[in-house]
Amino acid sequence: MDAEDVCQDVFLTVLRQIERCQDPDRFLSWVLAIVRNRSLNYWHYLRVRTTVELDPEAPSGQEGPEQDLARQEFAALLHAALDCLPPLPRQVVLLHELEGMRHREIAELLGISEGMSRQHLFQARRVLRKRTDIQAMREGRV
């Protein structure tokens, strides 16, 4: 999928959901929000699916298989918790934590205020903490 595919996806979404745009004066901002969301979703899709070739000759870490398994389980748990977040808070978390972006940059990119960026991150972290702790307790890892 490339930029043309994302554009086509945006146009199809606009056509399918045109009745949701109740205020004709805000049509452009409504379409731009769809463009932003589809573009960020595609960017996230690429990031998750991009792999790095492993060197079979490279020495492994100092940790044993138990630690590797625990790390993999926690990563799966974290991904599941991220999937439970609404799109905007998930985007804020990923941009802040993975990309190292500041709230000012996130706010500009997502079209929200800096304060809302901070609020989304705060609330998303709380949800992630809660979801990962409950699951870890159920599995007896905490």
Task: Provide mean pLDDT across the span 83-107.
Answer: 90
According to DSSP H, which parts of 18-64 are helical? 27-49
Task: Provide mean pLDDT across the span 43-48.
Answer: 77
| pLDDT score of 139 more than 90 | no
- Mean pLDDT for all residues in the chain: 82
Task: Provide mean pLDDT across the span 76-87.
Answer: 86
Q: Please return the burial class of 116, using the count of CB atoms within 10 Å of its CB with bins 0-12, 13-18 and 19+.
A: middle
Angle at 38 between CA 28 and CA 25, to 5 degrees: 10
What pLDDT, on a 0 to 100 scale, did the predictor assign at position 140? 64
Closest to 97 in 3D by CA, of 47, 33, 136, 49: 47
Confidence band of 9 (pLDDT split at 50, 70, 90): confident
Angle at 42 between CA 101 and CA 51, to 5 degrees: 80
CB atoms within 10 A of CB 51: 6
Higher pLDDT, 11 or 77: 11
Contacts of 68 (CB under 8 A, 6+ apart): 61
Most confident of 15-24, 48-57, 62-71, 126-135: 15-24
